[in-house]
Structure formats: C-alpha cells, structure tokens
A and B are shown apart, each in its own frame.
Chain A
Amino acid sequence: MGSFSAFSLLRHAIGGNRHWQRHWRAASPKPSYDVIVVGGGGHGLATAFYLAENHGIRNVAVIEKGYIGGGNVGRNTTVIRSNYLLDGNTQFYEFSMKLWEGLSAALNFNVMFSQRGQIVTAHSADQMDAFSHRANIMRLNGIDAEILGRDEVRRLVPYLDFSDTARFPIHGAILQGRAGTARHDAVAWGYARAASGHGVDIIENCEVIDFLRKGDRIVGVETTRGRIGAERVGLAVAGHTSVLSRKAGLELPIESHVLQAFVTEPVKPLVDHVVAYGADHFYVSQSDKGGLVFGGNLDGYNSYAQRGNAGVLQEVCEAAVALMPNISRLRLLRHWGGIMDMTPDASPIISLTPVPGLYLNGGWCYGGFKATPASGWCFAHMLATGEVHPLTRGYGLDRFRTGHTLDEAGAGPFAWLQ
C-alpha cells in the first residue's frame, strides 16, 4: 500500500499517476473472524482500526451494506469541538479532540482537520452565564475556552448582524479555539485504508440480514454474502440501530430522526470560524472548497428517509440571514438529510448489552462525527477486552433505568426535542 507524502505524490505524478493502488483491499468475507463490526461508517472503521492498532486484533471484518462512509460520516457538517458540560461527556469529547489532533499523521491520510475555532453567540445575560459555566468547566478539565464580549466577537466576525435591527442582539460568545472542521469523507477513507493495511477486511455491499446464535449467544451474522462467524459482534450502525438491534431482540431508548445539512455555492474565503447562532438553530463553517456548510434543527419527527422537509429549509435560511445578513445573496447548492439515532438525553450509547456476544455503539444523535476517533478507540477496547472503557462509563444502556442520564440541554426524554 505505499505511504502517502509529497514525495510519493511527485513520484506518481511523473509516472502519470498510473501506479496508485486501491486505498483499501476489496475483501470477500472469510468464514469467521475474531470480531465483526457491523457498519462501515466512521465509527465502525475507526473501531476496526483501533482493534488492530491498539489491541493487535487483526482478524476483523467491517461489514457494510452499501459503500463505506455512505452514512452520517459522509453527510454531516463536519464540526469538531469538545465544549461539553457534564462529567463524562467533557472528558470523552476532549479525548476525541486529542485524537483528532494527531489523526492525519496516525492514519497517513490527510483528514484536513482544521482548528479554525468555534464561536457560539450569546444573546442574553443568562446565556452568557450559561456559557461561562461551560467555559469554566472546560478550563478546569484542561480544555481551551474563552468568553468574548460583544466587541471582541465583532472584531473576529464582523459580518454578523451587529445592527440596531437585529432581533436578538449579540451580547457575546463562547469560543473554543481548538474546535474546527475536518474533511468528513477522508475520515472514513483514512480509517479504512489504515485498517485495511493492518489486515482488516472491509466488506462492502454486504448487508446483515440476521444474527447467528448459539443458545443465547450471538456468534456471527447472516448476510447477503453468506454467513460469517465471529467471537464478538459490534454494532456501529447509528441511524439504523433500532432496526438491527430488533433482530437481536434488543429494545432500545432510541428514535431515528433526520438532521439536514446545507451547502452553498463555493466562494472565496468568507467565514474563517465555525459560527453558531445562540438565539436559534443555525451553525455554519466554510469548507476548503469554498462552500458554506450549515445546519439547523432536527426535522422533528421520526424518519428513516435521508431527506429533509421544506419547513426546516426555511427555518435555517431565516436564521442564517438573521445572523449573517451578508449571505442573503449566496445561493444554496444542495441540502440533504442524515438519519440520527436520537437518545432521550442526547448522549451516546457505548455499551455491553443483555445479549452475550453483542456490543452496541450508537445513539450518537447529531454529534457523532466529532466523536469518531474516541468512539472507535473505546469501542475497540470494549470489543477487545469485554470491559467498558473508563471514558465511556457514563454511556451504558442502564443509565435510563438508574437515572444517571447525561442531558446536556436539559430537554428531557423527548428525542425530537433534544
């Protein structure tokens, strides 16, 4: 597989680019594996990579019903941040941030992690207090955070609406400088290439139809490409977790909802940060290609359709112009939807399950992309050792029974409101 570098690029260019090889092997299923990871998205591929890299477990298959990276890792708005409030979330997402900071090097694949900083505007004194609380927690956990006054925000992002006619005037903002964006597809491809290089089989166009059982225990999967045995099966199919879990007899506190993403035509550099509107649902960044990538709120009803409705399109565009009156003339190029596993507290699930041999990684809500490296790291730990990784102790399925929920927004057990 050859290493990527400026030199290899030059060498191949001289050779007319005719000798590049597949980034990941086109594998066919073997009769059995030590571990099967169901789902060739960011989390599944990362899990496979860390199983090999951290635990030396290379007899691993990633099984994907379509093409890898075709789910939410390739549909999200690519924001990466670690500005979480609650004990359990704070440490997990910061661990993920640290992995992001070394990810291109670790994978020898440029995932274009760009720490351009995230600004969330505040529109009241109470919101400033709430942001200060968050920023204080972040600092006390070794995470960078700043609180900005109105004038400081204006210096950084002068194109926001600082006029007298702003409906919700900007009081200030919270800034995490290390937050940013990455090239989402590259994350899937980079993990796939690195995992494949470690011997992991990445099996595309292979759909899991059912689970193989021995007594209570799950011992493999039945797929459209035949039966495949495994010591342990890990699910990483956020969006469709309920559908697959039901086949294993698992009942979950998850609902599937659609979150839309939007991109405008490419323009020269305009938005240098990730900017989020604290008065409504809108966040935006500019991709390296030049398009403004933005998003808003969930469509608001259970959905397995990867498309959004026109109402949210309107809501998001209204909020966009309210925050950034200068993008009114910019034109929307595409909008699409991704299916989120929404949990009752908007925090994820990385958990042992009541079904022996089955391990669960899901419930990522709208925050899965930023968690990809840490999720893969911790889920690999669980699949390798059978134990919960210390960073994910708060993410067990039992928390809804015990009441130890991690509800950052305090929105309560209403998936569509989280």
Chain B
Amino acid sequence: MTDNRLPSGGRIDRSLPVDFRFDGRSYAGFKGDTLASALLANGVTLVGRSFKYHRPRGIISAGIEEPNALVTLGAGGRREPNVPATMVELSPGLTAESQNRWPSLGFDLQGINGLFAPLLASGFYYKTFMGPGRRAWMVYEHFIRKAAGLGMAAMEADPDRYETRHDFADVVVVGAGPAGLAAARAAAQAGARVLLVEQDFELGGQMLAEPRGQDWLAGMLAELGSMPGLRLMRRTTAFGLYDGNTLGLLSHADPGAKAAARQVFTLLRAGGIVFATGAVERPMVFSNNDRPGVMLASAIRTYLNRFAVLPGRKVVIGAAADSAYRTAFDLAANGAEVVLADSRAEIDPQLLGQAVRSGVEVHAGTLIVKATGARGVRAVELEGRSGPFRRQCDLVGMAGGWTPVLHLTSHLGVKPQYRQDIDAFIPGGLPTGQFAAGAVTGAATAAEAVRQGHRAGSAAAAAAGYDRKVDAAVLPAFEESGLPHAVQALPFGRKKAFVDFQMDVSLDDIALAQREGYESVEHLKRYTTLGMGTDQGKTSNVNAVRAMAALRGTPMEAAGTTTFRPPYAPVAVGAIAGRAKGHHFRPFRRTPMHDWHVANGADMLEVGLWMRPWYFRSFGADVDEAYVAEMRHVRSAAGLMDISTLGKIAVEGPDAATFLDRVYANGFASLKVGRARYGVMLRDDGIVLDDGTTTRIAENSYFMTTSTAKAADVMSWLEFLLDVAWPELRVSVTSVTDEWAGMSVAGPKSRAVLAAAFPAIDVSNEALPHMGLVEGTFRGSRLRIVRLSYSGERAYEIYVGASQGLAAWEHLLAMGKDSDLRPYGVEALGALRIEKGHVAGPEIDGRTTLADLGMARMVAKRSGYIGAVLGQRPAFLAPDRQRVVGLECAESGKRLRGGAILFAPDEAWQGHGRGRVTSTTFSPDIGKSIGLGLLAADFAGDEVVAVYPMKNEVVRARVVSPVFLDPMGERMHG
C-alpha cells in the first residue's frame, strides 16, 4: 500500500495522529484530515461500488458534492449509511465500511450487472416485468428492491441525542470562503448582528487549498475573531431556505469534543442573507470517467495543499478552464509528472510559459476520450490536433469548468439564469435583502470574490438597517488568471461515459431518454433518475442539461434546469426532530390529581395530550372486569371521577347572555343566576360542534364547560365570534381549564358524601336541586358545586381552585369513606353515559346534526343561532337520515361491538347497511350488552342485526330508547 502523504505541508496537525478503520483494516491519519484525505494518504483508492452496475468507484471530490465515495459509519443503532467520505472529519476510533458490494469491495458479484448494461438502460423496468399474471411485478420487485438502495439502515432506535435551536441574525452569511469572509467583515463593521455559517470544520473555502492565500486567510480570521457582533458556526450546513427568510442549518458536533448532541438543527430567521456558497468543479465526460483515480482537478489540489496528500505520481489533467493549471503546477512542484490536455485551442501565454518552467506538458485542443484500468486508472486515451494518443497514468484530473452552488438561492422559486460566457447557471434575480457573492455568481478569482463579498455584506447590513462606515475590503495579494473556460464537447456514442456517477447515468442513457420523448429536463431526471442520488446531482446537473440541449438542438437556457429542493445536503431525520421524541414527542397534560391516580392503582390512558385514569386496579385485574365493577359501585354507592380535563371557559360581561344565546343552538337567554344548562353548539354548516354545560355564576358571569377534545377549538371559535363577527358585544372569554380542578361525585350516596365533606354548605335537594349551583371555599380556594349528571345518578360536579384539587380529592375520599366513595375511571364513565343515553365523541362525529342526536326539540322554536340556516338543508331532513337509537343485545352469550354495521334481519349483509353501532357497554343493571347506534330513521322494525365481519360475528339486537336507565330521571333529580 502506497504512502501518499507528503513529508511536510498542509493544514493537518501532525502532532495528533488518528487511528481509524475502513473495511476492517486499520489505518492512520492526522487531526485535520477527512476520511477521504486519510484514505488517499494511505493509498486507498477503491472505496465503493456504484448504484446500478456496481462499478468500482473511488474518491472524486474533496467536498459535499462527492457522488461516489459513500461509506457506512458506525454499527447497531448508530449505523449511518451513505456518508460521503469527503465530509467525514477524521476522529479517533472512526469505523467506516464500503457499501453496495457483496461479498467484498474488491470482488463484487453484482459487478456482472455491467455486462447487461444495454438491457438495464434508462427506464428498462417500465417495459418489462409485467407478467405472467397480475402480481408478477411483486415477484420481480422483491429482487429489484434488494439490488437497489445503497447502504443499510439501522433496525434499532438511534441512541444519540439531537437538539433543535431557534436563532436570529440581522445578516447571515452562508459560506466562509473569500467572499463570505469579506461579507461577514463588512456587515459586522456596519453594525449588524452577523452569523457566518460554514459547512467545513475550517474556515476559508477554496482559500484552504491556495498556498499563496494563507497569509490573507490568517489575517482575515484574526480580524473576524475579534469582532463582537459576529458569530461563527462551523461544521454547519445551511441546507434549506424557507419562506420568511428562514434558513435551516445543520451543525455537526466537533468529533474531538465531548458533545451531548450529535447534531443540532437550527431554524435561523435572517434579516439579510449573503449567499457566498462558492462553486464546485464540473467533471469531464469521457469513457470510464468513473474509474478510481479519476478526480476533479480542484480536489487534487485540495488534497495536495490542504491535506498534504499526493494522490498520484503520473497525472493527466483534462482541462476546460484555467484553474486546472494551478493544480498542474502544484502537482509538478511536488514531483509529479503532469500532462495537461486543454480542450481549448487558445491558452493564456503566461500560463503556457509557467507550464514550461514547471515541467508540465500541455496539449492544446486535446480531449481525454477514455480511461483504462479496472479498479484503478492505468492510462488514458486522448485525442488531440495531431490525432489520438495514449498516456500511462495513475491519476486523472478533470477541470470541466465551475458550477455555482446556487441551490439555496432557488429554494424559494427563483429561477437560475444561464451565463453563456462561463457556461453556467448563476442565481436569478434575488428578492430584497438577499445577495450573492463570489464564485456562486461566476466570479473567477479570489480578489473578485472578496470585492463582491464586501459589497454584498455592506448591502445586506444596510437592508437590515445598519449602515455604519465600513473599512475598505482587504484583497488577497496574488494573481490569478481567469479566461473564460471552454464549453465541453460531449462525446455522444462513446460507451460508459458517465454524467451522473452515483446514479450510473451515462450519455447513452440521456440519448435514449431523448429518443423516447423524455426531453424536458424534469422528464429526463425522472426517467433516467439523473440527479436523484444523495449528491442531488451537484456534479452532473450542468453536463446533463448540456447533453439534452445538444440532443434537442436548443440553447442551454431553453433546456433549463430542474427545480432545486431542500435540503441542499442530506439531513438526518432525527436531527430535525431533535429532542421531541419518545415520551417528549408531545408534552403531557396532567390534572392536579394525576400523581394520586398513579400512586393509587390507576391504569392511565392517553386522551389527546391528557393523561386520565382508565380504570382502577382495585376494582379488577383488567379493564373489562374493573369498569363493570366501577359502574356497579357508582350505581349502588358513590363514585369519584376526575373531570379536570373538561374545557372550562369564563364568559364575562354585560352581553354574555346574548352571546351564549347565539352560540348555543338551544336558548340561554332565560338561564337564571345560580343555574346550569346543557347546551349544544353547531358549526355554521349545521353540524354539531360540541356539547357541554354552562352555569350562570352571576348576572354577567358564566362558567362554560366543553368536551375535553374540543376545548381548544371552542375557545378559538368564541374568540373569533367576538373579535370578528360580533365585536359590538361586550363579552370577555378566558380559558380557565387550568384554573379549576374538577371532580364529579355520582351515585345514590353522593349527597351524603357532599354533606360530610362540606358541612358548611347546604346541599339538600331544595338548596341544590338538579342543575343548581352553590359556591363556597375550600382551604382558601374557591369552590363551585354544580349539580349535573352525566351518569344518570344524582351527581355533583365539584370545581375547586387547581392548587387545592388534590386536597379536595383526598378530602372527599376521606369524608366519603362512610358512604363508600371510591374513584373510577374513564371506561366506566363512558359506560355510564351510554346507559343514560348521553351522546359523546363516537356520536358527535362531525357528521351528525342535532336531530340525528335526538335533540331537535331543543331548537324547535328558535332561530338566529349559529348553524340554523344551513342546518335545514335537504340532506339533513331526509327520511333515511341516521338517528341515535338504543340497542340491546338480543342473544345471550353475545355482545355488541362498536363499529358493527346494522342491517334489517332479512337483508343481505352487504354495502353500508342501515347504520352502525357507535358505543357499547355491558350494563350491569340490565344484565346485557347494550349500545348506542346511528340507525336510519325510516327503518321501521324493532330488531336489527349488528354485523361485524372482522370477528365473523352477527348479533341480533333490539332497537330501544337510547335512555336505558331511569327514563323519568328520578335518580338524578331525587
């Protein structure tokens, strides 16, 4: 294995060696290396296999655009596939594996796919695998899926931690190359709060690979480091630009530091933005241009100068731009033999002179047409003005021109513009407050980038309102040539000339797509999968558009580009989720008595965000046993229920009565002080929104309760009506859900419980009749007792200031001991209301009207309430409209189930039936399974069958009144 590390130079820290493993072998690199630079330093050139043909692949780039060198990091729950080795900061103990190969990277059985390439051309799968039989595809697909995909994902939960942050800055500068550094300096000097974001772990961008720019860079960094208004975020990729000038940032932890979070997602609200995102070099298209050892020329220069790695000794560089020469000179200076094939006929004489002095052999008007060698490049075939020739080599450089990294600038829909002179797309007209500077605009030299950055930084600060005087830009002191580069001639007809390395899309594939009519670049992308890899086509996009434009005979600008979508670089799903996972996924909402329930044997249940006691284990081993026992207990003695989750709204003001009278379908104008009333609210379309009770506490003060589920909706709705519809009403609404603990005491002994618990309050039937209110205090907190029944028993809702909720609960249980007061859960609560025929969520399903719920009489003589007009539409009055009924199981040993479909006894069991069972329970009183259902009003029979195909069950049921219990209400009124 070759040692490609140069004895000196580079920005690596040779005092800190770092051991790592790749495919099971140990290697050594230095702090400051990337995995890619360390692999190259160790002479590892074969690092992966391609997606479709499993061709051997090496490292092409030195950055985020890397299409080939994808590795899997870590293992178990920490397994992370498809990571570009060029973006992995080397750290001790790093373990990487190559992927998409079996049994080994060197010998991959699926490499045979390459032999069948003509069969596997673009879109081949649309033309076959269609038979025999309808499900044939499922068989083929099984194998295709296994072959596709790149690395393997983890099967275990990710054990690492992620964080999300919010941030704000007056000016955000994306990219810390020459333009970005200059922009940040100018903006900060102007007085703006500046945030400079850089994806690399070092600041400097292309300047890091420029030996002549090191002084400038050091000076700049020193100055920026001392500016108070400037913050730096390294290892941070701005991956998306969203509406509202919001940027999505992803920061990686410093692998050398002990960080609690692996990655941090920051949502950054920016005033002005400077995009100094640079450019990536464009590959050249020739046969076998994907062989390991074929690299971007600028990447070679980066490995050489930044990482002190000489990836080859005999180098051929294909050039369409002047930048290739810098790579050639630096290679030659480090002892490499360099041949430069410049596709241009005209070359800057100064460069030529320098080439001669450096010993670089330059061939003008010459193209590389083919690389040879299998697992590594051995030679290239060239075609020059004097005909074809061949050169042995172990490294090939590609300098096909530059592609501005304009992705972010177009995430909000700004269309890129084509610039003929540099054969590239640059950002289109940016909206106010956004600026682009440096190579992203096509700037060819560092000096030009700095000048643009300086201007953009000042302008962005000014746009954000900061215009203090700014010092002149500090320009780098070295010369660069910047002749326009040549438009690449694409070698149509040559085999295996790849345009998109990762997706294995060649020129042939593009030609085929065009032949078949997939001419739009969007069709091209979708048909060939071009640009759809993890690199999102950063190196392939322009070459592909050029190919299609050439095939169609249209100009580049007419061919256009595909839409750039966030994220600019892949972002872990877990990083965006941050800490909102597991039990933190959503906050918990706990009643004041929550801890008591948990400590006293309640099985808790999630109800929206709330936690509620489902049942108490003291009543039975499981819910089915317990809830029936709880029901019996409520009906025979007394039960205590935590109802703090009900929505509670204070309605105050001189016009509150008028307001409620409109809001509720049934009338509230006549409600007297000290009395409560059940009310139903409709939506504007006449469908029931919610139900609850409202109590008139004082002349201008009401206490409304809503269902647990609809509390927030009702609150907003009331505010809407007051703000928008009826601003003339002097009414104030405030949510007091958190203010009051609520508990209900129900059962024949409930009054005795209350009398014992609150001896100072008269709770006699006369003083506190059904729907009556008494007020008092409990341990310094306000106390409201409203006599309301959900269960059909005599029952009281007790509201006490939340701080005393637990105390009141325990007090009631203690004082109610003689009456055998025991707590019960929501399962029993739901069952008790079914026996009483009270409708709830399963019946109020967003499709039912008042009449459907059997409450048409409530509004018989009313108008002017919400939902009155549209509630009279023909569909709501149809004779087969489904209405709430009671159902009683008519077969012993069987039970009704929610979700069963109702049919007439003589009907075929198909279609949608006459209705359905909505809620069911076993009724200890009746000794049967009973339920509520919605049944067509024109159904005349008194018996239905409830069909439940999921359990192959058919149960006969009698249609009865929904009020199973105490139809005269003697229990609750007594």
Contact = CB atoms under 8 A, between A and B. Distances in A.
- Asked whether A and B interact, the reply is yes
B150 A13 contact: no
Interface stretch (B138-146, B698-706, B778-786, B799-807): B138-146
B150 A290 contact: yes
Nearest to B606: A168
A328 interface: yes
Nearest to B116: A13
B388 to A, nearest CB: 23
Contacts of B243: 307, 309
Number of chain B interface residues as a range:
35 or more
Given A23-B516, A413-B683, A189 B138 contact: no
A338 to B, nearest CB: 12
Nearest to B870: A403
Given A24-B517, A317-B576, A403-B875, A266 B149 contact: yes
B582 A268 contact: no
B534 A333 contact: yes
Most B C-beta atoms less than 10 A away, residue of A167, A321, A329, A413:
A329
Which label, helix, strand, loop or mixed, suits the secondary structure of the B interface? loop
A14 B121 CA distance: 12
B156 interface: yes
Interface stretch (A99-107, A234-242, A385-393): A99-107
B699 to A, nearest CB: 34
B164 A325 contact: no
A320 B577 contact: yes
Nearest to A299: B243
B149 A289 contact: yes
B413 A307 contact: yes
Contacts of B580: 318, 321-322
Nearest to A165: B582
A109 B585 contact: no
A269 to B, nearest CB: 5
B138 A105 contact: no
Given A104-B130, A110-B137, A140-B913, A328 B875 contact: no
A313 B523 CA distance: 26
A347 to B, nearest CB: 12
Interface in A104-157: 104-105, 108-110, 112-116, 123-126, 129-137, 139-142, 145-147
B571 A332 contact: yes
B515 A105 contact: no
Interface stretch (B287-295, B470-478, B892-900): B892-900
Number of chain A interface residues as a range:
35 or more
B119 A334 contact: no
Interface in A338-352: 344
B685 interface: yes
A19 to B, nearest CB: 9
Contacts of B248: 310, 313
Interface in B140-166: 141, 144-146, 148-158, 160, 162, 164
Contacts of B425: none
B607 to A, nearest CB: 8
Given A269-B145, A334-B565, A159 B155 contact: yes
A267 B581 contact: no
A335 B129 contact: no
Contact of B512 (A17, A116, A286): A17
A101 B134 CA distance: 7
Interface string B56-88: 000000000000000000000111111000000
A232 to B, nearest CB: 27
Contacts of B567: 332-335
A266 B150 contact: yes
A330 B126 contact: no
A22 B873 contact: no
B585 to A, nearest CB: 4
A333 B536 contact: yes
Contacts of B7: none
A59 interface: no
Most A C-beta atoms less than 10 A away, residue of B512, B572, B578, B909:
B572
B494 interface: no
B149 A267 contact: yes
Contacts of B385: none
B586 A167 contact: yes
B545 interface: no
9 contacts: A133-B900, A140-B909, A167-B586, A183-B126, A286-B145, A319-B585, A333-B536, A334-B536, A407-B846
Interface of A: 4-6, 8-10, 13-14, 16-18, 20-24, 26, 66-67, 69-70, 74, 86-87, 90, 101-102, 104-105, 108-110, 112-116, 123-126, 129-137, 139-142, 145-147, 158-159, 161, 163, 165-169, 183, 185-186, 189-190, 204, 264-270, 286, 288-290, 305-307, 309-310, 313-314, 317-322, 325-336, 344, 399, 401-405, 407, 409-413
Given A23-B517, A87-B911, 20 more contacts: A22-B516, A165-B583, A204-B520, A266-B82, A288-B148, A289-B149, A313-B240, A313-B248, A317-B577, A321-B574, A321-B585, A322-B581, A326-B154, A327-B574, A329-B78, A329-B80, A331-B573, A332-B567, A333-B567, A399-B875
